[in-house]
Structure 1
Amino acid sequence: MTEPFQTRALSEDVDAIAPDQSEIRFLVQVQGGSMVHCSLPVGAVSLAVTHRTVAEVWYVVAGQGELWRQQGDRQDVVTLRAGLSLSIPLGTQFQFRNTGTDPLQFIIVTMPPWPGADEAVRVPDYWPISS
């Protein structure tokens, strides 16, 4: 069976709050993956999570921030800026924060498509979460 064509413009409205507390706007989805626009407000820090079954690739479109990733004993912190792409392989623990003066915005492609909120598993935070 052939998949239908999809065309979707970026909405100003938030479609969902991700398990890490970032703002999600749905884009398109095909059998092998899904794409969303993610935004983190100025001064915000996400919750640290890992995924059960999916890998992600990110492309930063606006703002500044930092991303912490860890796999076993290996970890790094990456400075996020427009034009940067990166991967979140399956099983990677990660957390990100907005260090700039504008919302941190990026496109996420999830493979296979995002299955739902139970996909994310909370892990210890790298950066403290302010309440």
Structure 2
Amino acid sequence: MTQENSPPVPPLGRRSQQPDATAPDGSEIRLLVDERHQATKASLVEVTLPAGQVSRPVWHQTVEEIWYVLEGQGQVWRCPPGYESNAVEPIRVGPGDALTISTLWRFQFSADAAAPLRFLCYTCQPWP
């Protein structure tokens, strides 16, 4: 029900069947909430890495991310600035796990062979 003087309300986000983009790390991105939904300082995307795949290592100069794993099992490697790559061991992740990717941290992730790794990613600044 709408009224003539109702304030404009941002549209709902909806998961697309096909990926909207491929991230620099090689994962599939589905945009859920972004500037189309009046989100100007952050965004929410769904990330999928196919079963048995390993992402390319990357880092963000200005973006912080929060991940929430929905499906699959895998590993995530996060290395803070100033540390050697081999100083940090990857961690195992699965459904229900949440983690942060801090600005300037190098990171890489993998999906186990049995199923894709799928997670929600809240980004501040908006993706990409």
Q: TM-score, normalised by structure 1?
A: 0.81
For 1:90, the aligned partner's letter is T
Aligned-pair Cα RMSD in Å = 1.7
The answer to whether the aligner puts 1:64 opposite 2:73 as a matched pair is: yes
**Percent identity, aligned pairs only?**
39
Is the Cα–Cα contact under 8 Å of residues 6 and 28 in structure 1 kept in the other structure?
no
Q: Which of 7, 12, 15 lines up with 2:12 in the alignment?
A: 7
For 1:25, the aligned partner's letter is R
For 2:105, the aligned partner's letter is T
Deviation at 1:11, TM superposition (A): 1.5
Deviation at 1:3, TM superposition (A): 8.1
For 1:13, the aligned partner's letter is Q
The answer to whether the aligner puts 1:38 opposite 2:47 as a matched pair is: yes
From the CA coordinates, give the structure whose radius of gyration is larger: 2
- Kindly report which structure 2 residues correspond to 1:85-96, keeping only aligned pairs within 5 A, or say none: 85-96=98-109
| Residues in 1 aligned to 2:53 and 2:18: alpha-carbon distance in whole angstroms | 19
- Cα offsets for 1:22-60 (capped at 9, x unmatched): 000110021220110000001100000001111000000
Deviation at 1:4, TM superposition (A): 4.6
Partner in structure 2 of residue 84 of structure 1: 97
| Residues in 1 aligned to 2:8 and 2:67: alpha-carbon distance in whole angstroms | 24
Q: Which runs of 5+ in 1 are unaligned?
A: 117-131
Partner in structure 1 of residue 62 of structure 2: 53
For structure 1, which segment, 73-82 or 5-14, has the greater mean C-alpha deviation from structure 2 after superposition? 73-82
| Residues in 2 aligned to 1:47 and 1:39: alpha-carbon distance in whole angstroms | 14
Is the Cα–Cα contact under 8 Å of residues 49 and 94 in structure 1 kept in the other structure?
yes
The number of aligned residues is 114
| Residues in 2 aligned to 1:103 and 1:3: alpha-carbon distance in whole angstroms | 38
Deviation at 1:100, TM superposition (A): 4.2
Partner in structure 1 of residue 25 of structure 2: 20
